[in-house]
A and B are shown apart, each in its own frame.
Chain A
Amino acid sequence: MRAVDALMECLKAEGVDVVFGLPGGANLPTYDAFVNGGIRHILVRHEAGGGHAAEGYAKATGKVGVAFATSGPGATNLITPMCDAMMDSVPVVFITGQVRTDLLGTDGFQEADTIGITMPVVKHSFMIQHPQELPRAIHEAFHIARTGRPGPVLIDIPQDLSRAEIDYEPVSDVRLPGYQPKIEGNQKQIRQAAKALAAAQRPVIYAGGGVVNANASAELTEFATCDRFPVTCTLMGLGAFPARVDGTAHPQWLGMLGMHGTRTANYAMDEADLICAVGARFDDRITGKLSEFAPRAKFIHIDVDPAEISKNVPAHIPIVGDARNVLAKLAIEYRAIGADPGRLGAWWSRIEGWRAKHPLGFEDSTDSEIKPQYMIQALHEATGGEAIVTSDVGQHQMWAAQYYDFPAPRRWINSGGLGTMGFGLPAAMGAAVGCPDRVVCCIAGDGSVQMNAQELATCAQNEIPIKVFIMNNGYLGMVRQWQELFWDGKYSHVDMGEFPDFVKLAEAYGVTGMRFTDKSTLVDDMKRAIATKGPVLVDVRVTREENTYPMIPAGQAAREMVG
């Protein structure tokens, strides 16, 4: 069979049920194989939309997402999703076409050095040099993408090789002698960590996206609740520990930490004597000024990627391993010690003091105006807190993170590390394809949504029922906020005006368009939008100049929080 037909067989063997992509000259043979390939393909309108959709699919389902593009511009359009997947450790396999081998290096039509351009933003890449290599490369790519610290893997296939005949035999093993992720976790280290936790007077568990990636949410909750450990999550980790149980706030939940985290979480980190970091990487949005970050704390650092340990903050007890394995073992070791939960009483009264004094809140409007924070609360109410929520990047993202109270992992899908505007809509599309039984909402910015609005056509054509709620303040809101606070209020190129008319835009794409402007009916209006069949784009007009608070100004310490 042709190499491309073998490609289809390999994808099926890997359990791929959908591919997001766009054909072109160099991957014509691949698209010919789709005709009878038995794999669902969703034709996107821009390769970046396809790449982010594959990410959204992967984040929502925990499976590997797949995106296809042609050579040259098709491949370069995938670079943002690749980089995004690299920064947020999302398992995605990207498969690009390449010009014929006799044209390689000649600046042929639609030739780009895809492998070279993408090298810094992929976990690994394969340039196919012989058609017979393809099946093994596919399986190795999926293996690398999903194991260890997940990430994007690229396979670049020259057009002539893709249509060559090969002897296809199913591949059942991978040969990667240089790739052996450590997942077990050193038992001695785990015991040390349990002892340190049992002795700690002011411990905090700081959980990141690695917990979600490892499907370790249950183990995290189990471990945290085997004593009264306070828990905070990063932006990427939200949902790894339930913000609410049975409709009320989880007593051990401190809220998100970091630049726009709660004061309680940031102050607890500041005063902690022991911080147990799980699947988190001490990003600058978490630490603020590094020299003043958690100055009293010792650190246990659990991560599957050894290079993350002691990269930014030195770990006293490093544990390299899969979060799920390590947390399960840690809970056993901790229980065996029989620590006195009473020792945490003073720490909890300190935390309760912060909670009472600095609850997350905002000044609501006294008229019909919709405050952006209220918009998120309204969405929570309209969806019962049970939707998958994606977002773009900016103020709306932070408010969604602060106010939606995610009850479970893989419900909150956003671009954290790279901060990619235009991520939310295609990611919602991918999540909805992966989880057809769930309500999938995108909280978009009026600036961000325009960066991949073309995928509305994909949603309309394929009846992908995403509900996009644009938090429309007519500004590039986060940039405006920084200009207001740190650049003397001089606004430079942040006013987006009332363009486009989002309702008309929706209708042009064959999507239901709505506009909500009244707070008093917002919850019901949102319920109506969610109940509407098919994709819906809603223009929600919110307060124009509202700031996202609280906030640690960039490069400052947790103690310097404002707002």
Chain B
Amino acid sequence: MGTIMGEPGTKEPLSLEELHAATNMRTGRKHVLSILVENKSGVLTRIAGLFARRGFNISTLTVGPTDDVQISRVTLTVDGALHPIDQVTKQLHKLVNVLKIRDLEPADTVARELALFKVTADGVQRGELLQIAEIFRGKVVDVTKRAIIIEVTGTTEKIEAFETMVRPFGLIEMMRTGEIAISRGRTET
């Protein structure tokens, strides 16, 4: 579920040490920000532009519709080792088209990404490759004489592990969507 970040004026006064930590809150971990935005032209440019001009680096970014046609969801991941997340979310809150931001707690979140791997698969290798795909619950979505395309869904770590496994076979191409994430339990993300 995570805390709603950048909510102003509600914190108790903190000690100096806590404040220094908070200001430059380099948490050292990946943060998944789930952002609800008004579905208006240029919103993505505003978000991307904000990141660029404040010197924040987006690791991954996905955009998609929600159950409300007027609202879209942007899921982006930021490296908390490089950026003060508090400042990132406060700046995002200033964008008029941004409705809500959640910094998802890893423990309370289900995150998934989808990847497609095109791997060389000549004769003998094919069997072994299919075995690995099965272990990762990958799905073969296309086969030609010399190559095979495997679809894998899972956490970033799983996809990276799969990549390590299939690379020696001759990885021709790989495509990844970037993460989407949803909070556990009944509350809305």
Contact = CB atoms under 8 A, between A and B. Distances in A.
Query: A and B: partners?
Result: yes
A310 interface: yes
Contacts of A192: 13
A306 interface: yes
Given A182-B8, A306-B6, A311-B87, A120 B49 contact: yes
Given A116-B45, A179-B96, A310 B13 contact: no
Nearest to A178: B99
A307 B94 CA distance: 8
A316 B95 CA distance: 26
Contacts of A144: 96
Contact of A307 (B14, B87, B99): B87
Given A307-B94, A314-B19, A315-B19, A119 B9 contact: no
Contacts, number: 74
B13 to A, nearest CB: 5
Contacts of B16: 298, 314, 316
A178 B45 contact: no
A340 B23 CA distance: 34
Range, interface on chain B:
20 to 34
Given A127-B41, A127-B42, A319 B95 contact: no
A288 interface: no
A318 B9 contact: yes
Q: Which of A182, A186, A189, A307 has the most CB of B within 10 A?
A: A307
B86 interface: yes
B41 A124 contact: no
A453 interface: no
A185 interface: yes
B19 A310 contact: yes
B38 interface: yes
Nearest to A115: B42
Contacts of B91: 307
A309 B98 CA distance: 20
Contacts of B45: 116, 119
Contacts of A318: 8-9, 11
Contacts of B49: 119-120
Interface residues of A, number: 35
Contacts of A310: 19, 22-23, 86
Given A176-B96, A178-B99, A306-B90, A186 B9 contact: yes
B92 to A, nearest CB: 9
Contacts of B8: 182, 306, 309, 318, 320
Contacts of A178: 37-38, 95-99
A307 to B, nearest CB: 4
A307 B9 contact: no
B186 interface: no
Interface in A245-262: none
Nearest to A116: B45
A520 interface: no
Interface string A287-330: 00000000000100000011101110111111111000000000
Contacts of B90: 306-307
B26 interface: no
B146 interface: no
Contacts of A320: 8-9
Q: Which of A144, A189, A192, A314 has the most CB of B within 10 A?
A: A314
A402 to B, nearest CB: 32
A177 interface: yes
A129 interface: yes
A127 B95 CA distance: 15
A178 B70 CA distance: 13
A123 B50 CA distance: 12
Interface in A182-209: 182, 185-186, 189, 192
Contacts of A176: 96
Nearest to A300: B13
A36 B15 CA distance: 62
Interface of A: 115-116, 119-120, 123-125, 127, 129, 144, 176-179, 182, 185-186, 189, 192, 298, 305-307, 309-311, 313-321
Interface of B: 6, 8-11, 13-14, 16, 19-20, 22-23, 37-38, 41-42, 45-46, 49, 53, 86-87, 90-91, 93-99
